[in-house]
């Protein structure tokens, strides 16, 4: 039988909340660096505009996260998020492999939707935890970002249905 030598300090939901806040803070900053590259690569006007709009939104999202860190009395710091690094890496691969090709925009769009879905998962969880932990103001900020990510995802879906995939098919 294992002997419990010394009880570690139990990790609570508040610790988990802080960890995931650092994760999404890292992710947003990574996305901020990536969006201009995606915007530059996009051919379709609509997609180009969507990327630049989302870059502006992302700046606001980082500001919200800074506020949430303040509300929980922690410094705004990120923690390497392998998931977003992987998604961004895949997007970079598409940009390289499909450079100048008709399907490039469809690939960029797919990469952007993967990013949005990752963020939607994170913000949905964080918002719920903020409520659980008794941070209603933080929950409201996280919810505002969640709504933006969802709207962006929806806009991207519309684009996928309209122009971009048709072009990729050579229509």
Q: Which residues bind Fe ion (CB under 5 A)?
A: 58, 61, 119
Nearer to Fe ion, 39 or 61 (CB): 61
Nearer to Fe ion, 85 or 162 (CB): 85
Nearer to Fe ion, 42 or 168 (CB): 42
Return the closest-CA partner of residue 24 out of 137, 134, 141, 106.
Answer: 141
CA distance 17 to 21: 6
The minimum distance between CB 113 and Fe ion, in angstroms, equals 13
The minimum distance between CB 129 and Fe ion, in angstroms, equals 18
Nearer to Fe ion, 34 or 61 (CB): 61
The minimum distance between CB 1 and Fe ion, in angstroms, equals 48
The minimum distance between CB 28 and Fe ion, in angstroms, equals 5
Return the closest-CA partner of residue 119 out of 52, 54, 53.
Answer: 54
Nearer to Fe ion, 58 or 129 (CB): 58
What is the number of alpha carbons within 13 Å of residue 120 lying toward its C-beta?
Answer: 14
The minimum distance between CB 67 and Fe ion, in angstroms, equals 15
For the chain, helix (H) and strand (E) counts, in that order, are 6, 0
Structure-derived torsion over alpha carbons of residues 121, 124, 127, 132, reported in degrees to the nearest 10: -100
Return the closest-CA partner of residue 22 out of 80, 89, 85.
Answer: 80
């Amino acid at each position: 039988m294992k002997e419990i030598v010394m009880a570690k300090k139990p990790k609570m939901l508040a610790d988990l909340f802080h960890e995931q806040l650092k994760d999404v803070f890292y992710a947003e900053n990574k996305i901020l660096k990536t969006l201009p590259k995606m915007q530059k690569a996009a051919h379709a006007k609509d997609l180009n505009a969507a990327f630049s709009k989302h870059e502006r939104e992302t700046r606001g999202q980082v500001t919200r996260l800074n506020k949430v860190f303040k509300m929980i009395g922690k410094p705004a710091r990120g923690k390497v998020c392998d998931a977003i690094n992987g998604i961004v890496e895949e997007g970079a691969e598409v940009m390289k492999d499909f450079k100048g090709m008709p399907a490039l925009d469809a690939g960029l769009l797919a990469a952007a939707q993967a990013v949005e879905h990752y963020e939607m998962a994170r913000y949905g969880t964080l918002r719920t935890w903020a409520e659980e932990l008794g941070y209603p103001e933080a929950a409201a900020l996280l919810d505002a970002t969640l709504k933006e990510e969802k709207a962006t995802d929806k806009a991207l879906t519309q684009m996928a249905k309209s122009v971009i995939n048709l072009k990729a098919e050579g229509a």
